[in-house]
A and B are shown apart, each in its own frame.
Chain A
Amino acid sequence: MTKDMMRGFDLYQPANLENALNLTARLGKDAWLMAGGNDSLDWFKDRVKNPVALIDLLAIDSLKGIRETAEGIEIGATTTLTEIANSDLVKSRYNLLAEAASHVASPQIRNVSTIGGNLCQDARCWYYRAGLDCYRAGGKKCYADTPEGMNREHCLFAADRCVAVSPSDTAPALVALDATCLIHGPEGQRSVKAEDFFIGPAVDIERMTVLEENEILTAIQIPDRWAGANFYFEKVADRNTWDFALVNVACAMRLNNGTIEDVRIACSGVECVPKRLTVVESVVKGSPVDDEIAALAGKSAIRGATPLNYNHFKIPLLENLVKRAIRNS
């Protein structure tokens, strides 16, 4: 347990968003935002990240809860995954998200993990988490993309020096539901499509999202457009509890007399961002749901996949998950 003593930090528990934003502005790089803490505390215990100040977001009531809006629903950033998984509103309209949320980690983690934290969590590459000086940590090499590197969990697509993947189970569901992330910063409010919220190493190798240091993710909005559609979520991991997805898939589909009228499909575990499979979408749109189109969807999902030494298995895994998603949505 000697590894587990966190370094001291100043703890702030602002009661409203304005105070929190003032703090981020005042403290700048020294501050770390924390919600449920499931990602953050590991970093601190390992002493890999040592913030001077911690801003606990959980005392801010306006960031909590699930509301109906004129355009759909809005989920506050610190709403827990258990609340989302159990919410009648979410289950009745966007069961895809409820399913995804209920597949994260373990019951106790879901009880405190927030949707905001699940989206903003950092890469789970163990070289990086162990504190090595890799590209993502500001260094000049990647330890995973080497002949001996343990890269079974790493990416198939869009590698750019870093080969880490998006670890989140809820992110692909929100991309498939065409959700929007609401962000507050010193200059006011902006909204970013879930699809554009995540960024890969080619854009910025040290960040996973578009969030600037002094910005706070405040809510997720899901439009009516996909309410009550046909959904499919599946996650494959080594163990059903705790483990991150090797690959997961989230699909929202509108059928008209057995024909795929519209569809959005995304997956985590294969790229640094939740990958929206636009090629699959255009291949299947307008077709009846049958084995043939599902097989074609699977084949198009893996086009361009570039495996590393130990993750070839992810190619047939992705292919089969997409096949099933299209056949069973």
Chain B
Amino acid sequence: MEPEFYTPLGAGDTPKSRSARVSRRSFIKGIIATGATVASGSMLGTLAGCSAETSSTTGIAGTVERLITLNINGKSRRVDVLPQETLAMTLRYKLGLTGTKLGCDRGECGACTILIDDVPTYSCSTLSHGVRGRQVTTIEGLQAANGDLHPVQQAFVDELGPQCGFCTPGQVLSAVGLLKVNPSPTRDEARRAMSGNLCRCGAYDHYLNSVMRAARTS
């Protein structure tokens, strides 16, 4: 038997779901093209979420309902979520919250870090159905209503923390999570708390400076 290392997109799915996926993609492209921001999570969720057929649409006794309400950044969002959907996917591709990055999709980089009930968590390794009833905070939810940056974001700017910026949302959320439970960490405690966030630019020291500044200023 030849082992399959890389399964092409859609292999094993029904043709129906394959074409549905294309339409989801063009739908999202359409949104970007018209410059529309994500106004209605439930509308986007319904359209995007009906893309792939799964057997649970048949409603086997005891399985989860697909249309659920999630609490994201203090708002209730109605969204149609597949049973096998990760939170990173829901946030980025159903709710348009693309500040959450996907690096590895394997729990090995930290780019997708968000807070669940204030605890830093990899959204690529969390099923969306598992966070019903919990408070999810993404990078988009940190700034104040008047647009002021969160003190941790401000500290990251002031210390020139990021380089390319790809890992930054995850780094910021790890820092916010740390300062919630330990408002004045030692540099070593901060280093340990930030250790689940890789930075390919190697801006680690700048990030640590940022966290220490945030601890002083917030």
Asked whether any CB of chain B lies closer than 8 Å to the CB of A73, the reply is: no
- Are B4 and A109 interface neighbours, CB within 8 A? no
- Are A42 and B106 interface neighbours, CB within 8 A? yes
- Are B196 and A10 interface neighbours, CB within 8 A? no
In-complex Cβ contact of A13 among B56, B64, B105, B126 (8 A): B64
- Are A131 and B108 interface neighbours, CB within 8 A? no
- Are A112 and B121 interface neighbours, CB within 8 A? yes
Asked whether any CB of chain B lies closer than 8 Å to the CB of A320, the reply is: no
In-complex Cβ contact of B125 among A10, A37, A47, A56 (8 A): A37
Chain B neighbourhood of A3, CB < 8 A: 6-7
Asked whether any CB of chain B lies closer than 8 Å to the CB of A60, the reply is: no
Produce 1/0 per residue, B56-69, CB < 8 A to A.
Answer: 10001011100000
- Are A44 and B3 interface neighbours, CB within 8 A? no
Asked whether any CB of chain A lies closer than 8 Å to the CB of B120, the reply is: yes
**Range of interface residues on B (Cβ < 8 Å):** 35 or more
Produce 1/0 per residue, A224-242, CB < 8 A to B.
Answer: 0000000000000000111
In-complex Cβ contact of A14 among B4, B62, B193 (8 A): B62
Q: With A107-B192, A108-B121 known to touch, is A37 a contact of B84 (CB < 8 Å)?
A: no
Asked whether any CB of chain A lies closer than 8 Å to the CB of B86, the reply is: yes
User: In whole angstroms, how far apart are the Cα atoms of A139 and B2 in the complex?
Assistant: 12
Asked whether any CB of chain A lies closer than 8 Å to the CB of B55, the reply is: yes
Produce 1/0 per residue, B34-64, CB < 8 A to A.
Answer: 0000000000000000001111100010111
- Are B105 and A45 interface neighbours, CB within 8 A? yes
Produce 1/0 per residue, A68-94, CB < 8 A to B.
Answer: 000000000000001000000000000
Asked whether any CB of chain B lies closer than 8 Å to the CB of A279, the reply is: no
Chain A neighbourhood of B120, CB < 8 A: 107-108, 111
- Are B83 and A9 interface neighbours, CB within 8 A? yes
User: In the complex, what residue of chain B is closest to A8 when comparing beta carbons?
Assistant: B54
Chain A neighbourhood of B119, CB < 8 A: 82, 111
Chain A neighbourhood of B83, CB < 8 A: 8-11, 54
- Are B62 and A12 interface neighbours, CB within 8 A? yes
Asked whether any CB of chain A lies closer than 8 Å to the CB of B203, the reply is: no
Chain A neighbourhood of B64, CB < 8 A: 11-13
From residue 1 to 51 of chain A, which have CB atoms closer than 8 A to chain B? 1-14, 19, 23, 37-38, 41-42, 44-45, 47
User: In whole angstroms, how far apart are the Cα atoms of A8 and B174 in the complex?
Assistant: 31
- Are B125 and A11 interface neighbours, CB within 8 A? no
Q: With A1-B105, A11-B63, A38-B125 known to touch, is A107 a contact of B56 (CB < 8 Å)?
A: no
Q: With A10-B56, A242-B108 known to touch, is A111 a contact of B84 (CB < 8 Å)?
A: no
Asked whether any CB of chain A lies closer than 8 Å to the CB of B100, the reply is: no
Chain A neighbourhood of B7, CB < 8 A: 2-3, 47
User: In the complex, what residue of chain A is closest to B1 when comparing beta carbons?
Assistant: A133
- Are B126 and A241 interface neighbours, CB within 8 A? no
- Are B84 and A6 interface neighbours, CB within 8 A? yes
Asked whether any CB of chain B lies closer than 8 Å to the CB of A130, the reply is: yes
Produce 1/0 per residue, B91-119, CB < 8 A to A.
Answer: 00000000000100111101001000001
Chain B neighbourhood of A53, CB < 8 A: 63
Asked whether any CB of chain B lies closer than 8 Å to the CB of A253, the reply is: no
Chain B neighbourhood of A260, CB < 8 A: none
Asked whether any CB of chain B lies closer than 8 Å to the CB of A58, the reply is: yes
What would 14 A/B residue contacts be, using CB atoms closer than 8 Å?
A5-B9, A8-B56, A10-B54, A19-B62, A23-B62, A54-B83, A54-B84, A107-B192, A107-B193, A108-B113, A108-B122, A109-B196, A111-B119, A240-B195
* Chain B contacts to A: CB under 8 angstroms: 1, 3-10, 12-13, 52-56, 60, 62-64, 82-84, 86, 102, 105-108, 110, 113, 119-122, 125-127, 129-130, 174, 192-193, 195-196
A37-B125, A108-B107 given; name 7 further pairs at CB < 8 Å: A2-B9, A7-B12, A7-B13, A8-B84, A38-B125, A106-B110, A112-B126
The 4 nearest A-B residue pairs measured at CB? A8-B54, A106-B196, A11-B83, A2-B9
* Chain A contacts to B: CB under 8 angstroms: 1-14, 19, 23, 37-38, 41-42, 44-45, 47, 52-54, 56, 58, 82, 105-109, 111-112, 130-133, 139, 240-242
